[in-house]
């Protein structure tokens, strides 16, 4: 499916809400990053993936992690909680370019990674 990255003034189709800049917690309620980007179906604008931006403890290395929306287990006004732990997110294949929608093969790889756990 063709995905696009939403621009800052665009929002996903209901029932999803704006998630950008929310804190991201793993399944153990540990802070793992913030939501940087949202990726939606090009035609329906349905939310499919979120981009979680993490940084190392010293804050020098920032990494983007593509996470399927199905991996979000809870959503609060200021944060979202994933149904996986930090190690599962960090062991996913690296996200090559957060500025464009992910290619179909990469989408499949990411879904398989999160669904196998």
User: What pLDDT does residue 117 have?
Assistant: 53
Residues in the chain, pLDDT under 70: 56-60, 117
Whole-prediction pTM value?
0.92
Beta bridge partners, 55, equal 62
Ramachandran region, residue 38 (left: φ > 0; alpha: ψ -120 to 50; beta: rest): beta
3-state secondary structure of 77: coil
Q: Is residue 102 within 8 Å of 64, Cβ to Cβ? A: no
Burial of 51 (0-12, 13-18, 19+ CB in 10 A): buried
- Write down the domain spans for the chain: 3-115
User: What pLDDT does residue 60 have?
Assistant: 67
CATH of domain 3-115: 3.90.50.10
Beta bridge partners, 53, equal 34, 64
């Amino acid at each position: 499916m063709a995905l696009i990255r939403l621009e800052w003034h665009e929002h996903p189709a209901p029932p999803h809400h704006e998630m950008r800049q929310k804190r991201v917690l793993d399944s153990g309620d540990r802070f793992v990053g913030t939501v940087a980007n949202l990726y939606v179906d090009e035609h329906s604008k349905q939310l499919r993936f979120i981009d979680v931006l993490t940084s190392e403890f010293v804050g020098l290395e920032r990494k983007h992690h593509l996470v399927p929306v199905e991996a979000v287990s809870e959503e609060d006004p200021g944060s979202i909680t994933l149904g996986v732990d930090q190690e599962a997110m960090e062991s996913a294949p690296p996200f090559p370019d957060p500025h464009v929608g992910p290619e179909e093969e990469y989408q499949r790889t990411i879904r398989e990674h999160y669904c196998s756990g």
